[in-house]
Chains A and B, each alone.
Chain A
Amino acid sequence: MRYSWKWSAVLTDPYFDWIISGLELTLLLSLISWAIALVLGCLIGIARTAETKWIRSLAAAYVECFRNVPLLVIFFLWYFVAPEILPRNAGLWVKRDLPFPEFWTSVVALSTYTAAMVAEQVRAGIEAIPRGQANAALASGLTRWQVYRYILLPVGLRIAVPALGNEFINIFKNSSLALSIGLLELTSRTRQISEYTYQPLEMFITASAVYFVIAMLTTAIMMAIERRSRLPGMITRATR
């Protein structure tokens, strides 16, 4: 109706610096969490295809626990509940002496959640390989470790690449929930500025645009990786 637009608020000192510092935290949080989630998720995904039953159940339990709880609740659990379960002194250390607790708790929350997603994609990738291949490899004298190393993982992970790309884009968007435990990342910075200036629409549009650009860049990177890792003979995007 009568909203007075003031786009210059985005560029005013100190608000521009705040947006940049928020963007830095968003990128740092997402990339560190993604690195951890990728390693942890691969291990859990492999464990889900393991021969031994208890390893399989343990991995399945992990995936179900983290996949079936809202990410926001996972943030709260790690931030508020986890330190209370620890022995008193360890809990106090986490709450008071851990440097930058909001950031590292966010890393833990985001990576443990995303690991469950990655694990499912990795498992699906491995299970997409016809069973005959693994059986044939075993019959030809390879050990189980070698079967994973030379047959299942090289193929399975390549099948999983497009799906993993999705999770990679998601992690940037999911990182915005870190504002709920007080991390001043991109979304909370723009919310903060909108409260200070009362120019909320400019701030939300700015935040959306930045997330959009991040997602587009991620998509471009993932498409390049997909092209290189594409398995000949699989049904994928045709190369131009």
Chain B
Amino acid sequence: MVWRLALSAAFLATLAFAGPASADDLYGTLKKVNDSGKIVIGHNADSPPFSYIGANGKPEGYTIDLCHRVAEDVKKELKRPDLKIEYVSLTPVNRIPLLVNGTVDMVCATTTNNFTRQRQVDYLSTMYISGARIITRADTGIKSLADLKGRPVTVNQGSSNEQIMKALDEQQKLGIRFINTKDNPQAWASLESSRSDAHVTDEPTAYGLVVASKQPDKYLVVPGPRLSFDPFAIVVRRDDSAFRLVGNKALADLYRSGEIDKIYEKWLSTIGMSMDPETKTLFKVQALPE
């Protein structure tokens, strides 16, 4: 009896002095990270300036910077400065299975947050407002959505842009001839070789493609309102509020301190974009008080 009492006292003592917010209370991603000693960032290989493999062979970009901030705060929360950051390159096909099965802890890319997807995954706070935009060759004379009537237009298979364009096409009876391209490089090849007259993709991707092209003056992003509302966010696992709390707090700190302006400017200026008033408001309302 005495012996047993001593044992439980010793057990309680270890608990009390076990340092990181008593490891036993941890669950979900925080527990997994604490146990494995590493936090795994899933990224895209080719979505500049958000998430791509940089010149030094390492993933970089706007979303990657934000995820590094989240990782830093996870280290502080767990009092584990020794945590390692690992990277796994994802494709649209494997990103959900690999997040859900625990291979990666965050998907740091250009993922749109919507309720259908929230049946399967969860998101941190919105970090970018995107929407579908039309890129066209300067010689097509396309100035608006209505000008796409009857023309060959590329959309990437499975993208939210595909969904919105097919809905708009039906709604406005445009009779667009859709070409369902696999990815942006292929869509660009179609546009460049006149197989298609326009490509519909996320706003930053649209600007990025034009800037990166061989002859930027031969292409243009059709101005005017965006064709859809696509809030981008970092993807995390469902039912994991403890980890979400750390993540959202890290982001809110960036939004509140104005540090987000520098990060935004650093990456988005590379494709000639600057922060619009809507985005400023977005960061302001998401900067919840401490």
Contact = CB atoms under 8 A, between A and B. Distances in A.
A106 to B, nearest CB: 13
A201 B157 contact: no
Contacts of A95: 193-195
Contact of A196 (B154, B163, B238): B163
B180 A184 contact: yes
B125 interface: no
Given A84-B193, A96-B152, A192-B157, A198 B97 contact: no
Contact of A179 (B162, B182, B237): B182
Contact of B120 (A184, A193, A199): A199
Interface string B86-107: 0000001110110011100000
A200 B96 CA distance: 7
B266 interface: no
A199 B181 CA distance: 21
Interface string A161-203: 0000000000000000001111110001001111111111100
A197 B114 CA distance: 10
Interface in A126-185: 179-184
A102 interface: yes
Interface residues of B, number: 32
A119 B87 CA distance: 46
Contacts of A84: 193
Decide if the interface of chain A is mainly helix, strand, loop or mixed: helix
Contacts, number: 82
B121 interface: yes
Contact of B193 (A1, A3, A80, A182): A80
Contacts of A80: 189, 193
B282 interface: no
A124 B239 CA distance: 60
A4 interface: yes
A65 interface: no
Contact of A1 (B92, B101, B189): B101
A227 interface: no
B116 interface: yes
A104 B239 CA distance: 47
Given A2-B100, A95-B195, A179-B157, A198 B120 contact: yes
A180 B179 CA distance: 12
Given A83-B193, A192-B157, A182 B182 contact: yes
5 contacts: A83-B193, A179-B182, A180-B182, A184-B180, A195-B158
Ranked nearest first, the 8 interchain pairs of A and B with the lowest CB-CB distance are A195-B158, A198-B120, A95-B195, A192-B158, A182-B180, A198-B117, A3-B100, A1-B102
